[in-house]
Amino acid sequence: MTKEELYDLKYTLSDFIYPRLKEFKDKVDSKSAPSVPDFSNVEHFSQKRSFAEKEKYWSEILGEMIIPFEYQVYPENFKHLELKDINEKVERGLKLFAEYFIKLWF
């Protein structure tokens, strides 16, 4: 490991996580992912929700989780947003990443 990789670790980690999380979401979106969390802990989600509804919700969560890592890798993709909005999206995405980290498997 180089000194540069450790200097600002958020970039090193984002370079690794962003493309993999994006590919994971692509697999969910293309119905190639056999695992979708049950979301029993989500208030507005009843057990009566269909697998397709849970899959759609999972895709939305993954999309939000991708934002903080994409922002570090491609900040130019966010130049149309104000810093306050970016910070809110980054914070929400990181919270979701932490919350659902254990669910990132096939």
**What pLDDT, in 10s, does the model give residues 58-102?**
999 999 999 999 999 999 999 999 999 999 999 999 999 999 999
**Over 80: is that where the pLDDT of 41 sits?**
no
Domain ranges across the chain: 3-30+40-103
| Distance from C-alpha of 40 to C-alpha of 86, rounded to nearest angstrom | 29
| Distance from C-alpha of 28 to C-alpha of 12, rounded to nearest angstrom | 25
pLDDT at 7: 84
**Residue 93 near residue 25, CB atoms below 8 Å:** no
pLDDT at 65: 98
- Cα 3 from chain centroid? 27
Q: Which pTM was predicted?
A: 0.90
Residue with tokens 């932490």: 98
In this structure, the number of other CB atoms found within 10 A of the CB of residue 10 comes to: 11
